[in-house]
Amino acid sequence: MLVFFKKYYLLLLCSFLWACQTEPDEIKVGVLHSLSGTMAISEKAVANATLMAIDEINAKGGLLGKKIKPIVVDGKSDWGVFAAEADRLINQEKVSVIFGCWTSASRKTVKPVFEKNNHLLFYPIQYEGLEQSPNIVYTGAAPNQQIQPATRWAFDNIGKKFFIVGSDYVFPRTASAIIKDMVKELGGEVVGDEFVLLGSTDVKPLVEKIMAAKPDVIFNNINGDSNLAFFKELRAAGITPDKIPTFSFSVAEDELRSMDIEQMKGDYTAWNYFQSIDTPENKTFVENYKKKYGIDVVTDDPIEAGYISVYLWSQAVKEAGTDNVNEVRKHLSNQSFNAPEGLVYIDGATQHTWKTVRIGRFRGYGDVEVVWSSEKPVQPIPYPLSRKQPVWDKFLQDLYNGWDGNWAKLRE
């Protein structure tokens, strides 16, 4: 019996020593996007692109000699779910980083989770600005890399009367304020400013107001599958691109697959990346994406931003020599990547990304004609200069308070 116990404890000791000397053979990362609900129309593809980048890195030997293991979670188009799942991924799954979120309501809700846990989120979507956090890397456009140049271009090339529409949450409300400030500065006129609940299809009253106001251009900040109902109602009312063009900030090539492209030809959008960009890096990216997910799929700006987020993070991990969040954050500043859209790099002061601005006109599925480009990466400015930062901060706080402690209006 004594011999048995000696052997048993010797085995336990050996197992303990082996565990102490052996590093885990994988690095876990979170992929947190809406795979169901109103935002799934946009977010599923971003999750796919994130997974493709992980697969590519793993196929080349992984990171620090380990495989990257993605933990994919459905945010269900519900920012409360996003916050709960972000906490679970950090504290239970012990992921090294999270790639995810689309709506600013979801990002605003998870932001305190990342800051409390001193963790790291890569956020791949153009957004309203008015924010920077040491725990978030913003790989989508800041306002001066999308909304503001589009406003100036539309004023110079389309007309001076603007009608603004949007989903009723923090991004469209803030985007509207930024647009109105700029239109006023340019000497134009905002003839309408209307919002619908996120996910709502009750858009007929909104279109009736557009018809009555007779704008030169519609600026569209509606998100998710509400866009399907909005454009269907516009066309039913006889509002077509040749009569009153629409400039969309959350409709890209992937969303167009759910629409009638013949009715969308001639409308405008502003992003940093289009599938039609003619570079060797983009041709390879598009080819690989279609090979992985099907010949009929398309790429777009959020898809590409989700993809490059993984590479920017992996480069910082390599430089740090560890996936430890605190060490990785020290190496994020000025990481650069020759992306499908062109050179991008992280701005050390804001953790936003320098990006080239492009304005495009829809021509077909996956086919956007670039009508204007900044030609080179533009420095991100999270806080538009039309108002001082304390004024913008109060603007956001008033929205939050007005929505009873939420970042979106929940009901009429």
Please give the sequence-ordered ranges of beta strands (E in DSSP) within 34-79, or none if there are none.
67-74
Of 208, 225, 39, which is closest to residue 125 (Cα–Cα)?
A: 39
- Which amino acid makes up residue 183? V
The answer to whether residues 312 and 137 touch, using CB atoms and an 8 Å cutoff, is yes
The per-residue pLDDT for range 114-159, each reduced to its tens digit, is: 999 999 999 999 999 999 999 999 999 999 999 999 999 999 999 9
The answer to whether residues 230 and 108 touch, using CB atoms and an 8 Å cutoff, is no
**CA pseudo-torsion sign 282, 287, 289, 295:** positive
Of 267, 272, 307, which is closest to residue 286 (Cα–Cα)?
A: 307
The per-residue pLDDT for range 391-401, each reduced to its tens digit, is: 999 999 999 99
State the average pLDDT for the chain.
93
| C-alpha to C-alpha distance for 344 and 339, rounded to whole angstroms | 7
pLDDT of amino acid 171: 95
| C-alpha to C-alpha distance for 373 and 274, rounded to whole angstroms | 11
pLDDT of amino acid 117: 98
The per-residue pLDDT for range 301-339, each reduced to its tens digit, is: 999 999 999 999 999 999 999 999 999 999 999 899 999
Q: List the structure tokens of 4.
A: 């048995």
Cβ neighbours of residue 363 under 8 Å, at least 6 residues apart?
265, 369
The answer to whether residues 302 and 340 touch, using CB atoms and an 8 Å cutoff, is no
| C-alpha to C-alpha distance for 244 and 246, rounded to whole angstroms | 7
pLDDT of amino acid 17: 37
- Which amino acid makes up residue 291? K
**CA pseudo-torsion sign 38, 141, 405, 80:** positive
The per-residue pLDDT for range 29-74, each reduced to its tens digit, is: 999 999 999 999 999 999 999 999 999 999 999 999 999 999 999 9
pLDDT of amino acid 96: 98
| Rounded percentage of the chain residues whose pLDDT exceeds 70 | 94
| 16 pLDDT above the threshold of 80 | no
| C-alpha to C-alpha distance for 54 and 307, rounded to whole angstroms | 9
pLDDT of amino acid 262: 84
User: Could you give all domains of the chain from N- to C-terminal order, each with its CATH number?
Assistant: 26-141+277-356 (3.40.50.2300), 144-276+381-402 (3.40.50.2300)
The pLDDT-based confidence of 5 (bands split at 50, 70, 90) is very low
pLDDT of amino acid 178: 98
Report the half-sphere exposure of 40 (CA within 13 A, side-chain side). 8
Question: Higher pLDDT residue, 362 or 12?
Answer: 362
Question: Higher pLDDT residue, 286 or 366?
Answer: 286
| 14 pLDDT above the threshold of 80 | no
| C-alpha to C-alpha distance for 342 and 304, rounded to whole angstroms | 11
pLDDT of amino acid 257: 85
Burial bucket for residue 59 (CB in 10 Å: 0-12, 13-18, 19+): exposed
The pLDDT-based confidence of 22 (bands split at 50, 70, 90) is very low
pLDDT of amino acid 365: 76
pTM value > 0.85: yes
pLDDT of amino acid 12: 44
Distance of CA 336 to the CA centre of its chain: 18
| 294 pLDDT above the threshold of 50 | yes
Of 241, 235, 249, 245, which is closest to residue 166 (Cα–Cα)?
A: 249
pLDDT of amino acid 334: 80
| Rounded percentage of the chain residues whose pLDDT exceeds 90 | 87
The pLDDT-based confidence of 366 (bands split at 50, 70, 90) is confident
The per-residue pLDDT for range 151-207, each reduced to its tens digit, is: 999 999 999 999 999 999 999 999 999 999 999 999 999 999 999 999 999 999 999
